[in-house]
Amino acid sequence: MGDTFPVLNPSTGEVITDVPRAGLADLDRAVAAAQAALPGWDGAAPRERSEVLRRAFELMISRRDEIAHLISLEMGKALADARAEVTYAAEFFRWFAEEAVRVDGHLRTAPSGANRILTFRRPVGVALLITPWNFPAAMATRKIGPALAAGCPVILKPAEDTPLTALFLADLLAEAGAPDGTVGVLATDRPAELVAAALADRRVRKLSFTGSTGVGRDLLRLAADRVVNASMELGGNDPFIVLDDADLGAAVDGAMLAKMRNGGQACTAANRFLVQDSVADEFAARLAAAMAALRVGPGTDERTQLGPMVNARAADRIASTVERTVAAGARTLTGGTRADGPGFFYPATVLTDVPRDAPAATTEIFGPVAPIIRVRDERDAVALANDTELGLAAYVYSGDLARGLRVAERLEFGMVGLNRGLVSDPAAPFGGVKQAGLGREGGYEGIGEYLETTYVATTW
């Protein structure tokens, strides 16, 4: 067993480089360094923490093309998507640079008049951040930004498929002025023992995880042993509702964004298209034409619109989901068959007449597959949309604003895009309900995940 593990280029299947594999000794050193840095970082002026994040934002923007190429190389997404990710990721540093100076408390009088109630907020402590591969820059900055703004040193455990972007960001933050110990990165392809040891360490007081619901449940069990403060952004089975009064051109444009951003490898990707009967055929035909027109190729090719899936397992899983859905009675309008050749590619695929209990309708696809399910009316669409334990994001298209808002209010999801195919925004609270997660990232709510409130009773 070596001390390194390979990072692959999903466009070719070839090794990019080998990365040192972090072990328990590395974890102990990282936690010790973070704990040692905590008093100084907590005690730093809010403006000082703010300026580190602001400089990190500026550095990311100045190096956007370099970071985007690295993301495309190790994750496979098209360069246009990668550049958009870098801009989005950098905005978390800018947003939380501004929030760092706005952490406040309250002073009020007890109803009895016997004392004053004084509250102030302090950092939770050393934070363990576990990020996925699909947005290797943005998922990291969305956690690092609020943690550092709040005064928490962080230890980032990136996905094994995409450690290079995380290591780049750590160097960038050091250049921006983050003190030693405040940002550590532990890359490994054997995370179970490392994460379990981290959550058992009394110096680690915060866990923030983005990933699958199944892994999230396991981490919550581990965190429960020490009652570690936990934030979770988990899986989704996101519905995209098209009602009979929708502008179908706008709905298809929104569907392409909601489905094909990052090649469909996003927790907010539209997973089920619930389309009212009277417009289902036309919507399906238009969407199939748009999907079929996408140019497939290596992520680092400027002409590419759809890159590979992140690894062979992902491509195989998507292919199996499509095959089982077609066997259940769905029809393929475009795609559905993998091409021969190197890399982990899967074509843009549209399935229609999908049964409501078919695999593509009930599981998170995490790929460029759009299953279209017919619904009778608004009530049927809402009931089917809510028939899931994964309430992350939903989308609604309707030509009647009142109707659209009425549907949005009845949806059991943390985020809803109304006549819009994109919901992510650093200034908005990102998160889900039910088994899609706990807590919120982004917005002014995001920094609160890394703060605790102390109450002082006093009289004068």
Question: Of the candidates 433, 422, 458, 23, which has an alpha carbon nearest to the alpha carbon of residue 262?
Answer: 422
Q: How many other CB atoms are there within 10 angstroms of residue 285's CB atom? A: 16
Q: Are 117 and 109 in contact, with CB atoms under 8 Å apart?
A: yes
Question: Of the candidates 210, 68, 197, 190, which has an alpha carbon nearest to the alpha carbon of residue 144?
Answer: 210
Facing residues of 199 across strands? none
Question: Of the candidates 415, 107, 52, which has an alpha carbon nearest to the alpha carbon of residue 233?
Answer: 415
Question: Of the candidates 418, 416, 420, 419, which has an alpha carbon nearest to the alpha carbon of residue 430?
Answer: 416
CA distance 258 to 263: 10
Whole-angstrom CA distances from 430 to 106, 113, 129, 219, 336 are 26, 39, 16, 20, 32
**Torsion angle, CA of 31/442/188/313, rounded to 10 degrees?**
160
Concatenated DSSP letters for 3-57?
SEEEEEETTTTEEEEEEEPP-HHHHHHHHHHHHHHHHHHHHS-HHHHHHHHHHHH
Q: How many other CB atoms are there within 10 angstroms of residue 10's CB atom? A: 30
What is the CB-side half-sphere exposure of residue 219 using CA atoms within 13 A? 29
Burial class (CB in 10 A: 0-12, 13-18, 19+), 303: exposed
Q: Is there a catalytic annotation at residue 409? A: no
Q: Is there a catalytic annotation at residue 233? A: yes
Q: Are 297 and 117 in contact, with CB atoms under 8 Å apart?
A: no
Whole-angstrom CA distances from 232 to 19, 146, 174, 180, 199 are 27, 15, 27, 27, 15
Residues in the chain, how many?
Answer: 460
Say which amino acid occupies 45.
A
Which is the catalytic residue, given 233, 378, 441, 449?
Answer: 233
CA distance 184 to 293: 43
Which is the catalytic residue, given 85, 91, 152, 267?
Answer: 267
* Parallel, antiparallel or unpaired: strands 272-276 and 369-375: parallel
Q: Are 74 and 19 in contact, with CB atoms under 8 Å apart?
A: no
Hey, which residues are catalytic here?
A: 233, 267
